[in-house]
Amino acid sequence: MPDSTHGHKPRTPAAHRSRRWFMNKALLAGGVSAVAVMGGYAATMASADEASSTDAAADATASASPSGPPAGGGFGQTIAYDDFVGVTTDGTVVDDLYAIHRTGVSTTPVVRAASAFVNSLTDEQKSATLYDIDSDQWLDWTNVDSNDRDGLALRDMGDKQYKLAVKLLRAALSARGLENATQIRKLNHFLGEYSGDTSKALNYDAYWFTIMGTPSPTEAWGFQFEGHHLVVNYFVLGDQVVATPTFRGSEPTKITYDGVDYHLFREETAAGLGLLRSLDDTQLATAAPGTETKTGTNLVAGAGNDNAVLPYKGIKGSALHRRQQKLLLDLVEVYTGTIDEGHARVWLRDIEKHLDDTYFYWIGESEDDSAFYYRVHSPVVLIEYDAESPLAYHEDEASSSASATASASASASASASPGPGGGGTGGPNGTPTQQHIHTIIRTPNGNDYGVDLLRLHLATDH
What does the pLDDT look like over 346-374, one tens digit per residue?
Answer: 999 999 999 999 999 999 999 999 999 99
pTM for the predicted model, two decimal places: 0.84
Distance CA 22, CA 312 (A): 31
pLDDT of residue 77: 83
Distance CA 142, CA 145 (A): 8
DSSP string, 205-270: T-EEEEEES---SSS-EEEEEEETTEEEEEEEETTEEE--SEEEEESSSEEEETTEEEETTHHHHH
Cα R_g (the chain), whole angstroms: 21
pLDDT of residue 429: 77
CB 57 within 8 A of CB 302: no
End-to-end alpha carbon distance in the chain: 10
DSSP state of 449: G
pLDDT of residue 426: 64
pLDDT of residue 462: 60
pLDDT of residue 414: 29
Residue 12's Cβ-side half-sphere holds a number of Cα atoms within 13 Å equal to 25
pLDDT of residue 460: 87
pLDDT of residue 425: 63
pLDDT of residue 18: 39
Q: Which residues of the chain have pLDDT under 50?
A: 1-74, 397-423
- Nearest CA to 381 out of 338, 413, 351 is that of 351
Q: Largest Cα–Cα distance in the chain?
A: 63
Distance CA 227, CA 210 (A): 12
Name residue 173's amino acid. L
